[in-house]
A and B are shown apart, each in its own frame.
Chain A
Amino acid sequence: MKIIRVTAMWCMSCLTMKKVWKHVLKDITDLELIDYDYDFDSELVKGYNIGKILPELIVFKNNKEVTRIIGECSKKELKKRLEGLDENS
C-alpha cells in the first residue's frame, strides 16, 4: 500500500491528525508513506488535484489510486477505511 499524505505547516487539523496517523499506520505492513507539503511541494502536489480541505491522504494499491481520505477523522474510522481496502483486494 502506498499513501501520499498532503499536509500544511499552518493547518491545525493536520496537527490533530498526527496522533491518529501514528497509531493507525504503524500496524500496516508494506506501507510506503510519502509526505508532501501543500505549500512547499506545490509543484509535486499539483498533479494530484488536491481539494480545498486539508489534510488529504491519497491511497494507492498496486500503483492504482483506490481512495482519498480528506480532513479529520477518528482512529477507528481511519482504520476501518484502510482495512476495508484490504478485504476487497
Chain B
Amino acid sequence: MKTVKRLILIIVLGLLLNPFFSVVNAENEINIYFFHSEYCGHCQLMDEYFQDLVLEYDNINIVYYELSDEQNPAHNEFTMLFEQVKDAFDLQQAFPTVIIGGISFVGFNEQVTIDIEHTIDRYSDHDFTDVVAKIINDDDLLITDFDSLERDFVSLPLIGEIRLESLSLFLAAVVLGFVDGFNPCAMWVLIFLISLLINMQNRKRMWIIGVTFLATSALVYFLIMVSWLQVAVTLTSVNWMRSLIGLVAIVFGGYNVYKFMKTRKQEVGCEVTDDKQRSKLMERMKRIVTKQNLFLALLGVAALAITVNLIELACSAGLPLLFTQILAYNDLNSFEYFFYILIYIFLFLIDDLIIFTIAMVSFNVSGISNKYSRISMIAGGIIMLIIGFLLIFFPNIIMFNF
C-alpha cells in the first residue's frame, strides 16, 4: 500500500511541476540555412523564392552563406561550416544547399519548394532539432536529430490517404493496448465487482458503479502515460538512455517468455496469488457496494480503481510505458500524443467493457477463458523483446523513418 501511495504522489507531483500543456508553443522560430554560390543560376532562383517566402511566413529566418567570395573575411569560416554540414548530412558539393532543422534540400525545382514549405509547416507546431545551430555550437549530433521528408503515404479504403507514420503508430496503439488488456492481474477485481453488483439486483446502481470503476481506470492509465511521456520526451535526446530502456524491455520481455515456457505444461486456470491482498480488496469491495450513500460508494470505487490499476501497471511490466516511449521518439503535437494514448487505453479496456456490458444486459457474469491471458503473456513478451532490440540496434524503425 505504501508504494502505491508513493506512486500516486510522484505522478501528481510530476503533473504539477511540469505542465504538459506548455509543450504546445505558439509557433516555432525556424532558421533556414542557405548555402549558395554567386556562379550558380539555381541559387539565384532559390534566393528570389526565399524573398517571397519571408513575406508569407513570419516565423522563418533565412541565414545566408555565400561561398564563392574569397575576399569575404568569413570565407574560411563559411567553407568549414559547409564541410561539416555536408559531412553530417552525407551530401556532395552542390549549390544551392538548404538545411532546415534536420532535413537537407539540394538544388532548386518545384518539388523542392513544395518540400520546403511542407517542412516549415510541420516544424511550426512540432519540436525539431536545429542541426546547423548544433554544428556551429560544437554540440554532439545524435541520430534522433536528423529528420526525413514525409512522402510516405498509403491509401486505405474509406479513410483515404494517410501518412505511413500515423498508420504505424495507430497499429502499435491497437496491438499493444489490446495485448495489455488481457493481462490478468486486475481482471479478477472487475469480475468480483460485477458479481457483487449482480447480486444486488439494482440495475441503475450497477451501471453507475461499474462505469465509474472503468472510467477511473482509464483516467489513471491516461495520467500515468501522459506523465511518463513528459519524462520520455526529455529522455529522447540522451542516447544511452535509449539503450537502457531497450535493455529493460528485453529483460521484461524475456521474463514473460520464460514464465510462459515454465508454465506451459501447467493447467490453464485462475492462479491463486497473495491471499492476504485479495481478501483485503474483497472486503473493501463488499463495503463499497453495500454503502447506502451512492456518493460514498462512488468515491470508494474510484479509489479502488486507482489502487488496482497501479498494481496492474506493475504486473503488465511496462507495456504502456514502452508504448509511450515509442510515441516520444516520434515528433508529434500534444493533440496527436493524446489521441494515440486514448486509442491505446480504449483497446486496453475493451475486454473489460465487453464483459461489463454483457453482465449488465444479461444479469449474468461471463468469463473470458484464461487461455487468452496466456496468449497475451507470450505475445506481450515477444513484442517487448522486439521493441527492446529495435530501440538498441535500429532506432530508426521505432521512429518510423523508413
A-side residues, CB < 8 A to B, are 8-16, 38-39, 52-55, 70-72
A10 lies within 8 A of B269 (CB): no
Majority SS at the chain A contact face: loop
A13 lies within 8 A of B270 (CB): yes
The answer to whether the Cβ of B366 comes within 8 Å of any Cβ in the partner chain is: yes
* The one of A9, A12, A39 that contacts B187, using a Cβ cutoff of 8 Å: A12
Instruction: Identify the 9 closest CB pairs spanning chains A and B, nearest first.
Output: A15-B367, A71-B267, A71-B269, A12-B367, A11-B270, A10-B192, A10-B188, A53-B269, A16-B367
Question: What string of 1s and 0s marks CB contacts (under 8 Å) between B181-216 and chain A?
Answer: 000100111011001000000000000000000000
| Chain B residues whose CB sits within 8 angstroms of the CB of A54 once the complex forms | 269-270, 272
Q: Which of under 10, 10 to 19, 20 to 34, or 35 or more describes the interface residues of B?
A: 20 to 34
Closest A residue, CB atoms, query B282: A39
The answer to whether the Cβ of B284 comes within 8 Å of any Cβ in the partner chain is: no
Question: What string of 1s and 0s marks CB contacts (under 8 Å) between B239-257 and chain A?
Answer: 0000000000000000000
A15 lies within 8 A of B272 (CB): no
A12 lies within 8 A of B195 (CB): no
The total number of A-B Cβ pairs within 8 Å is 74
| Chain A residues whose CB sits within 8 angstroms of the CB of B368 once the complex forms | 12, 16
The answer to whether the Cβ of B369 comes within 8 Å of any Cβ in the partner chain is: yes
Closest B residue, CB atoms, query A53: B269
A9 lies within 8 A of B269 (CB): no
Min distance, Cβ B217 to any Cβ of chain A, angstroms: 16
Closest B residue, CB atoms, query A70: B267
Closest B residue, CB atoms, query A40: B282
* The one of A11, A38, A71, A72 that contacts B191, using a Cβ cutoff of 8 Å: A11
B268 lies within 8 A of A13 (CB): yes
B268 lies within 8 A of A71 (CB): yes
Closest A residue, CB atoms, query B273: A52
B-side residues, CB < 8 A to A, are 184, 187-189, 191-192, 195, 266-273, 278-279, 282, 365-371
| Chain A residues whose CB sits within 8 angstroms of the CB of B191 once the complex forms | 9-12, 15
B270 lies within 8 A of A12 (CB): yes
A-B contacts besides A12-B270, A71-B267, 14 pairs, CB < 8 Å: A10-B189, A10-B270, A12-B188, A15-B367, A39-B282, A53-B267, A54-B272, A70-B267, A70-B269, A71-B266, A72-B267, A72-B269, A72-B369, A72-B370
Q: List 10 A-B contacts (CB under 8 A).
A: A9-B192, A10-B282, A11-B191, A12-B270, A16-B368, A39-B282, A54-B272, A70-B267, A72-B268, A72-B369
Instruction: Give the docked Cα–Cα distance between A20 and B278 (Å).
Output: 27
* The one of B188, B269, B271, B279 that contacts A55, using a Cβ cutoff of 8 Å: B269
A13 lies within 8 A of B370 (CB): yes
Min distance, Cβ A46 to any Cβ of chain B, angstroms: 12
Min distance, Cβ B116 to any Cβ of chain A, angstroms: 57
Instruction: Give the docked Cα–Cα distance between A54 and B370 (Å).
Output: 11
A53 lies within 8 A of B192 (CB): no
Instruction: Give the docked Cα–Cα distance between A39 and B360 (Å).
Output: 24
Closest A residue, CB atoms, query B188: A10
Min distance, Cβ A87 to any Cβ of chain B, angstroms: 23
Q: A54-B270, A70-B269 are in contact. Are A9 and B371 (CB under 8 A)?
A: no
Instruction: Give the docked Cα–Cα distance between A72 and B370 (Å).
Output: 8
| Chain A residues whose CB sits within 8 angstroms of the CB of B273 once the complex forms | 52
B370 lies within 8 A of A12 (CB): yes
| Chain A residues whose CB sits within 8 angstroms of the CB of B370 once the complex forms | 12-13, 16, 72
Q: A11-B270, A72-B269 are in contact. Are A39 and B367 (CB under 8 A)?
A: no
B189 lies within 8 A of A15 (CB): no
A53 lies within 8 A of B270 (CB): yes
| Chain B residues whose CB sits within 8 angstroms of the CB of A14 once the complex forms | 270, 367
A39 lies within 8 A of B279 (CB): yes
Min distance, Cβ B384 to any Cβ of chain A, angstroms: 24
Min distance, Cβ A9 to any Cβ of chain B, angstroms: 5
Instruction: Give the docked Cα–Cα distance between A44 and B266 (Å).
Output: 26
Min distance, Cβ A75 to any Cβ of chain B, angstroms: 13
